[in-house]
């Protein structure tokens, strides 16, 4: 029989999409107030992978990723997704979101994203939230799965997550 063990702490990441640059800064301040200081902030990149968000978020969308210095218990992912959903609501106008916030975490083996949408490859984690392994680490880099969102499968995004993984692994060295 296997023995249940506490999962190691993981690196919290949040992806942000919006067509309004000031919202990135405002949401980032709110996230840092609740979740602590950042240790990585990607450049703002154009987001042109689909028109899925255009109607709600507007045109000329951009994307950036944040990672947080403080490691978290992965059991907090549903709570954090619920918080980011409320934050999206705070920045909404006339019932429409103006920024999309996608929290997740990475550890040495994978990038996990939280969502409210159920699919066959997602696991329910509580509070109306599901989680999926979006990228898995093989060899020397993250790799996409068949369900990985096209933007997360790009070399640019994978490079960001490889960089965040390296930060995470350095943090783990300091905790042993």
How does pLDDT run across 69-111, given as a tens digit for each residue?
A: 999 999 999 999 999 999 999 999 888 899 999 999 999 999 9
Diameter of the chain measured on Cα atoms: 55
| DSSP reduced 3-state for 28 | helix
**pLDDT at residue 155 tops 70:** yes
pLDDT for 119 equals 92
Kindly state whether residue 131 falls inside one of the protein's structural domains. Answer: yes
Kindly state whether residue 1 falls inside one of the protein's structural domains. Answer: no
Residue 157 tokens, joined: 């995004």
97: containing domain: 11-175
pLDDT for 104 equals 98
**pLDDT at residue 21 tops 80:** yes
Whole-number percent of the chain with pLDDT over 90: 81
Kindly state whether residue 106 falls inside one of the protein's structural domains. Answer: yes
Kindly state whether residue 2 falls inside one of the protein's structural domains. Answer: no
Kindly state whether residue 3 falls inside one of the protein's structural domains. Answer: no
Kindly state whether residue 120 falls inside one of the protein's structural domains. Answer: yes
Average pLDDT of the segment spanning 51-75: 88
The span from the CA of 29 to the CA of 19, in Å, is: 18
Beta-bridge partners for 64: 16
The domain total for the chain is 1
Kindly state whether residue 70 falls inside one of the protein's structural domains. Answer: yes
Kindly state whether residue 23 falls inside one of the protein's structural domains. Answer: yes
Task: Confirm if 49 and 156 have CB atoms less than 8 A apart.
Answer: no
Is residue 163 classed exposed, middle or buried when 0-12, 13-18 and 19+ CB atoms within 10 A define those classes? middle
Average pLDDT of the segment spanning 117-142: 95
Neighbours of 26 (CB within 10 A): 16
Residue 45 tokens, joined: 């990149």
pLDDT for 1 equals 84
């Amino acid at each position: 029989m296997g023995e249940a063990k506490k999962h190691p702490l993981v690196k919290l990441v949040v992806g942000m999409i919006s067509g309004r640059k000031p919202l990135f800064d405002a949401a980032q301040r709110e996230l840092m107030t609740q979740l602590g200081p950042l240790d990585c902030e990607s450049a703002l990149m154009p987001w042109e992978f689909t028109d899925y968000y255009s109607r709600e978020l507007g045109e000329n969308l951009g994307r950036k990723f944040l990672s947080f210095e403080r490691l978290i218990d992965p059991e907090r992912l549903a709570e954090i997704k619920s918080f980011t959903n409320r934050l999206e609501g705070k920045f909404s106008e006339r019932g429409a979101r103006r920024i999309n916030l996608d929290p997740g975490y990475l550890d040495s083996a994978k990038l996990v994203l939280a969502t409210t949408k159920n699919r066959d490859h997602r696991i329910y984690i509580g509070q109306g939230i599901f989680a999926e392994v979006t990228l898995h680490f093989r060899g020397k880099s993250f790799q996409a799965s068949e369900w990985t969102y096209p933007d997360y499968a790009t070399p640019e995004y994978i490079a960001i997550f490889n960089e965040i993984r390296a930060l995470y692994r350095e943090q783990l060295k300091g905790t042993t």
